[in-house]
Amino acid sequence: MSDAPDQMQILSGALPFLKRYDDQIIVVKYGGHAMGEEATALRFGRDIALLEQMGVNPVVVHGGGPQINAMLKRLNVKSSFVQGLRVTDAEMLDVVEMVLAGPVNKQVAESITRAGAMAVGISGKDGGLVRARKLRRTWRDPGSNIEQVLDLGFVGEPESIDTRVLKLLIGADIVPVIAPVGVGVDGQTYNINADTVAGAIAGALGAERMLMLTDVPGVLDGSGNFIAEMTVAEAKAGIEAGWISGGMIPKVETCIYAVEQGVKGAVILDGRVPHAVLRELFTEGGAGTLIKP
């Protein structure tokens, strides 16, 4: 009974945020270290189920890099990365799709369903959700200073998003759980970065928020200080100045893209923190770095 006043205060403080997000779409990118331990995965499932039961419309896009690496090791298939992207040949593509659209996708959906909401696992190929094209990247050789084209194999990027299947699921109070593979106009399957898929889907749905769960608290300034909020213009300036660097660049760029496509705000936050999604949405100040128009 001694905890009752604290619980009532928490519920009362959440009321304005419940009104803000009522019937709104929240796209959550879930992956990496945030989905590593079983206890963390179960807690994530409960939090997403709670969102749905509170009148929010969550859409989950998941990764699965560690699970793919484990399967490749079991199959003795060598893997390589270029600029943070997995080079994907035909053999690798079969493994990636099998893991992402198979056990990982179903485990995430099952954890949400077990917690009391109904979740359905799909891939970007289902219903033509993610129309993809081959990703084309260039890099400049530091020795010759000659720009060269990178061939990453069957790695793609979203070309267009058909939201019909998502809207049907959301309208039926079902949480979509999406594996980040897509299909080209010629029927070719592509492996796509989960952050990129989440940004494209959030933009296509006009989501109220996109939450990117990572293994860092958020964006840090040039002195290493946490930034609670920044505008798109400030984020672009940070990349240009170099204090947004390394692996944070593609995450910030995805947030910028989503906001420029109509998402009200995109947040980079630490998915290992207990109830990070709920803290971000229902507390003053949130839990990560908000990038807004």
Nearest-angstrom CA–CA distance, 112 and 62: 13
Residue 7 lies in a domain: no
Alpha helices in the chain (DSSP H): 4-21, 38-53, 65-75, 90-99, 105-114, 164-171, 194-205, 232-241, 248-260, 276-282
Q: How far is CA 50 from CA 40, 118, 205, 269, 277, in A?
A: 15, 11, 21, 19, 11
Residue 8 lies in a domain: no
In tens, the pLDDT along 187-240 reads 999 999 999 999 999 999 999 999 999 888 899 888 888 999 999 999 999 998
Closest CA to 205 of 286, 109, 130, 100: 130
Residue 16 lies in a domain: no
Residue 178 lies in a domain: yes
Closest CA to 269 of 108, 49, 77, 47: 47
Report DSSP letters for 17-42, one per residue: HHHHHTT-EEEEEE-GGGG-SHHHHH
Q: Is the dihedral of CA 268, 273, 275, 281 positive or negative?
A: negative
User: Average pLDDT over the chain, rounded to whole?
Assistant: 87
Average pLDDT over residues 246-272: 91
Nearest-angstrom CA–CA distance, 276 and 56: 16
CATH code assigned at 123:
3.40.1160.10
Is pLDDT at 85 greater than 60 in this prediction?
A: yes
Residue 216 lies in a domain: yes
Q: How many domains does the chain have?
A: 1
Contacts of 109 (CB under 8 A, 6+ apart): 119, 120, 121, 175, 177
Residue 15 lies in a domain: no
Q: What's the burial of 214, exposed, middle or buried (CB within 10 Å: 0-12/13-18/19+)?
A: buried
Residue 11 lies in a domain: no
- Helices 90-99, 65-75: axis angle to 10 degrees equals 120
Nearest-angstrom CA–CA distance, 21 and 3: 27
Contacts of 65 (CB under 8 A, 6+ apart): 31, 32, 86
Neighbours of 283 (CB within 10 A): 14
Q: Do 228 and 286 contact (CB within 8 A), yes or no?
A: yes
Residue 6 lies in a domain: no
Q: What's the burial of 26, exposed, middle or buried (CB within 10 Å: 0-12/13-18/19+)?
A: buried
In this predicted model, which residue has the larger pLDDT, 190 or 249?
190
In tens, the pLDDT along 147-185 reads 767 778 899 999 999 999 999 999 999 999 999 999 999
Q: Is the dihedral of CA 119, 182, 247, 241 positive or negative?
A: negative
Is pLDDT at 293 greater than 80 in this prediction?
A: yes
In tens, the pLDDT along 87-141 reads 888 888 999 999 999 999 999 999 999 999 999 999 999 999 999 999 887 766 6
Helix-then-strand count for the chain, H and E: 10, 16
Question: Given pLDDT bands bounded at 50, 70 and 90, which one contains residue 267?
Answer: very high
Is pLDDT at 44 greater than 80 in this prediction?
A: yes
Domain span at 264: 21-292
